[in-house]
C-alpha cells in the first residue's frame, strides 16, 4: 500500500474540516472566529506534510530538499523568479482589473473611492480626509510587504500542495496533468470555507465548485514556479502576494455598482483568462520537467527487496 498519499490527504482534508467546524456549528462566515479559523485551516497541509515525514523516516536535510524548502538547484534562478513573482502577481491583478473595466464589467471610482469608503464605514472606521492617499498606501504596502506579511500562512499551504504533493503527482501523471490535478485538489480542500460562500458570497455553496476552477489556473502558475526552481519559496511569494493585493484592488470599484466577484478581477472569469494565458505561455516557452516523488517509503522499499 502506498501510505504517504492517503496519510497526506486524510490529514490535510480532515484537519481543515475540524478547524472550520465551529463556523458550521454557528455563525458561518459572520462568526468573529472566522479570521482565526481561516488561518488555522491554512496550516493543515503543513501538518499533513509532517505526518507523512513521520512515517517515511527521511532525514531532515533530504526531506527539506525533496519538499522544496531549499533554494533548489540554482539559487540565482530561484531568487530571480522570487523577484519576478513579487512584481508579476500584482501586475496580473491590475491587468485583470483593467480588462474588467475595459470590457464594461466594472466601473472604477478612482476619484471618490466610494467602495473603499463604504467598506470602511461597514467596519465602523473613521473615514480619513485624504482617502486617496490611504488607498494608494494600502496598495503599495500590499505589493511591497504583502509577500512577507503573508509568508508564514502561505507556506502553511504551499509546503503541502506545491512542496510535497505536486512533485508526486507530476512524477506519476506528467507535468500538465499533475499541475491540473494538484490545483483541483487544492481547490477542493477549501470546501469547508467555500461551501459557506467564502470568496464568492453571491454563489452560496456553489462557490466551492467555482473556486476549484480558479485554483486549477492559479495552481498552474504556482506549480510552474515550484517545478522550474525546485523550490517552494517562489510559490509562497506568489500566494502571499495574491492574498495581499487582490482585496484592495477590488475596492477601487464603485459602490453604486459593486464589482461582480464572479466576473471581475483576477479571481473572476476575466482573471481566469489572464491566468490561463499566463500559464500557457510559461509552459510553452519555459517548460518544466517532472520531479521524482518526494520520497520512497523505506517499508515499501524493504518489501520490494524481500520479494526479489
Hey, which residues does 254 pair with through a beta bridge?
Answer: 257
Mean pLDDT computed over 37-55: 96
How confident is the model at residue 300, as a pLDDT? 41
Task: Write out 109-122 in H/E/C secondary structure.
Answer: CCCCCHHHHHHHHH
302 pLDDT exceeds 70?
no
Q: How far apart are CA 224 and CA 279, in angstroms?
A: 8
pLDDT at 122: 87
Residue with cell 515499501: 300
Q: At a CB cut-off of 8 Å and minimum separation 6, what does 267 contact?
A: 199, 214, 246, 261
Asked if 21 contacts 66 with a C-beta cutoff of 8 angstroms, the reply is no
Query: Is there a contact between 31 and 125 (Cβ–Cβ < 8 Å)?
Result: no
The pLDDT value given to residue 181: 97
pLDDT digits (tens, 9 = 90+) for 171-228: 999 999 999 999 999 999 999 999 999 999 999 999 999 999 999 999 999 999 999 9
What residue ranges do the domains of the chain occupy?
Answer: 72-285
Which pLDDT band, with edges at 50, 70 and 90, does 301 fall under? very low
d(CA 186, CA 174): 18
Residue 232 carries which DSSP code?
S
- C-alpha 65/C-alpha 43 separation (Å) is 20
Amino acid at each position: 500500500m502506498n501510505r504517504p498519499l492517503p496519510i497526506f490527504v486524510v490529514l490535510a482534508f480532515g484537519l481543515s474540516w475540524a478547524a472550520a467546524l465551529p463556523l458550521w456549528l454557528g455563525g458561518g462566515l459572520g462568526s468573529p472566529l472566522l479570521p482565526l479559523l481561516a488561518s488555522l485551516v491554512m496550516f493543515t497541509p503543513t501538518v499533513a506534510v509532517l505526518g507523512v515525514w513521520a512515517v517515511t523516516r527521511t532525514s531532515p536535510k533530504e526531506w527539506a530538499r525533496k519538499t522544496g524548502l531549499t533554494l533548489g538547484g540554482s539559487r540565482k534562478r530561484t531568487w530571480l523568479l522570487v523577484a519576478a513573482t513579487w512584481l508579476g502577481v500584482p501586475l496580473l491583478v491590475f491587468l485583470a482589473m483593467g480588462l474588467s473595466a475595459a470590457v464594461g464589467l466594472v466601473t472604477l471610482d478612482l476619484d471618490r473611492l466610494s467602495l473603499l469608503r463604504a467598506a470602511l464605514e461597514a467596519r465602523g472606521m473613521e473615514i480619513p480626509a485624504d482617502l486617496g492617499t490611504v488607498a494608494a498606501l494600502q496598495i503599495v504596502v500590499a505589493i511591497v510587504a504583502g509577500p512577507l506579511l503573508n509568508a508564514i500562512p502561505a507556506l502553511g499551504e504551499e509546503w503541502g500542495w506545491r512542496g510535497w504533493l505536486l512533485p508526486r503527482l507530476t512524477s506519476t501523471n506528467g507535468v500538465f496533468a499533475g499541475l491540473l490535478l494538484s490545483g483541483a485538489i487544492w481547490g477542493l480542500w477549501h470546501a469547508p470555507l467555500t461551501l459557506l460562500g467564502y470568496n464568492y458570497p453571491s454563489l452560496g455553496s456553489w462557490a466551492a465548485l467555482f473556486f476549484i476552477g480558479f485554483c486549477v489556473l492559479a495552481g498552474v502558475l504556482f506549480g510552474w514556479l515550484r517545478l522550474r526552481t525546485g523550490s517552494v519559496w517562489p510559490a509562497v511569494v506568489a500566494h502571499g502576494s495574491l492574498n495581499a493585493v487582490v482585496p484592495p484592488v477590488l475596492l477601487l470599484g464603485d459602490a453604486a455598482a459593486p464589482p461582480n466577484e464572479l466576473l471581475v478581477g483576477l479571481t473572476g472569469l476575466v482573471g481566469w483568462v489572464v491566468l490561463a494565458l499566463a500559464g500557457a505561455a510559461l509552459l510553452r516557452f519555459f517548460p518544466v520537467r517532472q520531479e521524482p516523488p518526494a520520497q520512497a517509503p523505506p517499508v515499501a522499499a524493504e518489501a520490494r527487496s524481500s520479494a526479489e
